[in-house]
Structure 1
Amino acid sequence: MQLHELNERSQDIFRTIVETYLRTGDPVGSRTLSRTGTISVSPATIRNVMADLEDAGLLESPHTSAGRRPTDLGLRMFVDGMLEIGNLTANERESIKGKSQSVGRTLEEVLKETTQALSGLSKCASMVMVPKQELAVRQIEFVPLGQDRALVVLVSEQGTVENRIISVPPGVTPSELNQASNYLTARLAGRTVEEARLSIEEEVKQQQTLLDSLTKKVIDSGLAVWAGGDDPSSLIISGQANLLENLEAQEDLERIRQLFEELDKKSELIRLLQLAKDAGGVKLFIGSENNLFSLTGSSVVVSPYMNGANKIVGVVGVIGPTRLNYSRIIPMVDYTARIVSRLL
């Protein structure tokens, strides 16, 4: 069902139910609605409309004698078509902005403090997907470890050293590994791995190199561990304790326990956030709309952030119950993403 298919009375009743539920967390009954003073129809008429909304899949009743609350589908319709987005206060903006000062701190440290501020303001768990920083390379070296393995040692211009083990074709000699090291060092110096990879691919395509096939395979393997392959992003999560507040039933505690288990599976969460990187602006995953949190009754509000080249490099957001204050959380996440983009 689409919002325009509801008549004005149904829209008013639906909006009031959702807003009341988001504010109180309790199912809303017809008598409660009739006492609000905003709906000028009888409780019987309200009950009929609520029954129709339930048949349409927008409302549900947790217990036979209880009132109604919005379903995930109903929350989606409300957020997309009825929600009035609020504005952050000056203090909220300053709290987020103040934590994003980068002087004397690494990017990961700044992002950690920024998400802690977001968690404190939203009263939710917050998260940020941290991109792997592409540093300019000074030197790369291949060290043989056996018949089919080699250690790749990469030294950045800043002096940081990374070591990774790769598979190499059988029969590769130490001299061929040395040739691969010299070839890559000459072309990587002062460039990021990604920049050098594109240049080398073009050079190989035009057959301007005199490398033998085994050495080329070593070079391809060495570049692949940094440029491409598994997603190099890491994930910072803050404020999980906020999810334990305002628990009203044992089923809530079980839901949070399941959510904590899901948060521990950071690789799965990163895959979810990768979906958000493809979207412009704030993106919401409400309850069962995403497989990761389908059993925990949780919502995720995220927004991508960009680097100085206007390339999306990460995602920041919050995780909380579906009963979020969306009108406040959405602009908060959006503002945090813009602050992080400005930092980069």
Structure 2
Amino acid sequence: MHLVDASKTAIELDERSQDIFRQIVETYLATGDPIGSRSLSKALPSPLSPASVRNVMSDLESLGLIYAPHTSAGRLPTDRGLRFFVDALLNVGELSNDERDGIDSELAGQGEGAFDAALTKASMLLSGMSSGAGVVLTTTQDMRVKHIEFVALDPGKGLVVLVGEDGSVENRIVDLPAGLPPSALREATNYLNAHVRGSTVGEARDAISLRAAEVRAELDEITAKLIEEGIASWSGASTRESGSLIVHGRGNLLQNVELRDDVDRVRQLLDDLETKRDLMQLLSLTEDGDGVRIFIGSENKLFSLSGSSLIMSPYRDSQRRVVGVLGIIGPTRLNYAKIIPAVDYTAQVVSKLIK
């Protein structure tokens, strides 16, 4: 499985330190409790005195991998420690055939509305296999340009006709620059069709913006202005500005939350989800590369919430274009070894369902 992490922690530990650190993290993931040197000395694969364990724990603490809660003499992993564990020590296996078949069966469907139903089921599946919320973000498909035509209307007014590869047609009325010769409409049409055909509207707009100097060098100023205004007339059409969200398992995020500050932070997260705040940023965080992206604790700036983890993966259409993202938002005490391959495979299945 191709795994893409949010960051890398450049730390090397000897075998003894790895064993102790791994036991601290695995105890935390299993129980949420800190573990002390005496318990660690009994749990290690090789005998080690509590005093020796304490020396190693001191080194791990100085590296910022573990810390001592004020209520206990034991140790817990820091966010940086969890990141190091996921990057360097976690054994991420493959799903069993039965687990794959289960996901395939749950998401399979036929007829009208089958894909939307699959997205909802994916959110429910991801929530059910974790102590967090299953999240699916889907974007509105941005039209891909097959042809653009400029047509003169009344004096000072023109029509921009955009034909999509899917056969859809959209029109926009634009102001024509003063003194525009009839040939400028034809030149603008030919230029755009030569340079943006096959692009999405958003991509076309970005490309013309980047080529502004070149456009003005190749064409006269009035024609260049017409091209810029014609493209700008679709200023709200990019998929990066719209999307829909499916969330299941919001209540899981409030379970086992004891401190008031933690409750307030989780409620803020839920508010952010309800208002779809920064959802397109979530898409941009995952669309580079094909693998799962992981954001742990304080690394997660998206929802202004420390103490949660995001495990997300994009899903793509038949042209390998990112059209959405799915995954899990939950506490840092997630079963990463189980959830990472499940998120990855679910994204693969959803991608195959897109037609």
What TM-score bracket applies, with the shorter chain setting the length? 0.7 to 0.9
Does residue 194 (structure 1) correspond to residue 200 (structure 2)? The answer is yes
Deviation at 1:25, TM superposition (A): 1.3
1:90-121 Cα deviation digits (max 9, x unpaired): 45434432325353126545323322322222
CA distance in structure 2 between the aligned counterparts of 1:285 and 1:241, rounded to whole angstroms:
21
User: Is this contact kept in 2: 1:286–1:298, CA < 8 A?
Assistant: yes
Instruction: Give aligned-pair identity as a percent.
Output: 45
User: Is this contact kept in 2: 1:141–1:154, CA < 8 A?
Assistant: no
Equivalent positions of 1:59-208 (< 5 A) are 59-97=66-104, 98-101=106-109, 103-105=111-113, 107-125=115-133, 126-134=135-143, 168=175, 194=200
For the residue of structure 1 that corresponds to 2:240, the secondary structure is coil
Deviates more, 1:100-109 or 1:268-277: 100-109
CA distance in structure 1 between the aligned counterparts of 2:30 and 2:352, rounded to whole angstroms:
33
Deviates more, 1:301-310 or 1:150-159: 150-159
Change (3 A) 1:252 1:192: same
CA distance in structure 1 between the aligned counterparts of 2:179 and 2:29, rounded to whole angstroms:
64
Deviation at 1:9, TM superposition (A): 1.4
CA distance in structure 2 between the aligned counterparts of 1:254 and 1:315, rounded to whole angstroms:
26
Does residue 263 (structure 1) correspond to residue 269 (structure 2)? The answer is no
CA distance in structure 2 between the aligned counterparts of 1:37 and 1:244, rounded to whole angstroms:
34
Give the corresponding residue for 1:302. Answer: 312
TM-score (norm 1): 0.74
Supply the AA of the counterpart residue of 1:112.
T
CA distance in structure 2 between the aligned counterparts of 1:328 and 1:61, rounded to whole angstroms:
27
Pick aligned residue for 1:49 from 45, 56, 68: 56
Give the corresponding residue for 2:26. Answer: 19
Supply the AA of the counterpart residue of 2:141.
K
Change (3 A) 1:100 1:132: farther
CA distance in structure 2 between the aligned counterparts of 1:32 and 1:244, rounded to whole angstroms:
30
Q: Which runs of 5+ in 2 are unaligned?
A: 1-8
Deviation at 1:296, TM superposition (A): 2.6
Give the corresponding residue for 1:280. Answer: 290
Deviates more, 1:154-163 or 1:66-75: 154-163
Figure out how many residues of one structure are paired with residues of the other and give that number.
Answer: 330
Deviation at 1:49, TM superposition (A): 1.7
Deviates more, 1:117-126 or 1:106-115: 106-115
Change (3 A) 1:321 1:140: farther
For the residue of structure 1 that corresponds to 2:137, the secondary structure is strand
Equivalent positions of 1:198-237 (< 5 A) are 217=225, 220-224=228-232, 225=234, 231-237=240-246
User: Is this contact kept in 2: 1:34–1:40, CA < 8 A?
Assistant: yes
Deviation at 1:216, TM superposition (A): 6.2
Supply the AA of the counterpart residue of 1:343.
L
CA distance in structure 2 between the aligned counterparts of 1:300 and 1:165, rounded to whole angstroms:
44
Deviates more, 1:131-140 or 1:97-106: 131-140
CA distance in structure 1 between the aligned counterparts of 2:109 and 2:228, rounded to whole angstroms:
39
User: Is this contact kept in 1: 2:283–2:325, CA < 8 A?
Assistant: yes
CA distance in structure 2 between the aligned counterparts of 1:150 and 1:58, rounded to whole angstroms:
64
Aligned alpha-carbon RMSD (Å): 4.5
CA distance in structure 2 between the aligned counterparts of 1:150 and 1:117, rounded to whole angstroms:
51
For the residue of structure 2 that corresponds to 1:33, the secondary structure is helix
CA distance in structure 1 between the aligned counterparts of 2:132 and 2:86, rounded to whole angstroms:
18
Give the corresponding residue for 2:263. Answer: 253
Deviation at 1:308, TM superposition (A): 1.5
Supply the AA of the counterpart residue of 1:20.
T
Q: Which runs of 5+ in 1 are unaligned?
A: none
User: Is this contact kept in 2: 1:100–1:340, CA < 8 A?
Assistant: no
Does residue 7 (structure 1) correspond to residue 18 (structure 2)? The answer is no
Change (3 A) 1:151 1:68: farther
Supply the AA of the counterpart residue of 1:116.
M
